[in-house]
Amino acid sequence: MERTATVVPEDGLHARPASQFVETANEFDADIRLGRADEDDLVPAASMLAVTGLGVGHDESVRLVAEGDDAEAALDALEDILSTPEAKQ
């Protein structure tokens, strides 16, 4: 499964939003990868270093790809994080 989402948090995928994104990705039985929407390279969504290393900022589009039993639920949860202005506490 694949989706494209826009990063809404002001900090982009850095600091708290990235931490919540990675923690959430690790909760699902799925191989989840993430990358910029306009590039082919994808990184593991379960890796804080990989996710923050993308340097994705506010209002940038990302591509999420998930495979596995929980793929759809994982994409729903991760898309929710990306579309929330500030990371949920």
Q: What residue ranges define each of the domains in the chain, with the CATH number in brackets?
A: 2-83 (3.30.1340.10)
58 as an active site residue: the answer is no
Question: Which uninterrupted H or E stretch holds 22?
Answer: helix 15-25
Task: Specify the pTM.
Answer: 0.91
Res 76: pLDDT: 98
Res 11: pLDDT: 87
pLDDT below 70 — which residues of the chain?
A: 87-89
Catalytic residue among 3, 8, 14, 77: 14
Q: Which residues of 16-50 are buried (b: 16+ CB within 10 A; e: fewer)?
A: ebbebbbebbeebebebbbbeeeeeebeebbeeeb
Separation of alpha carbons 28 and 41, rounded Å = 22
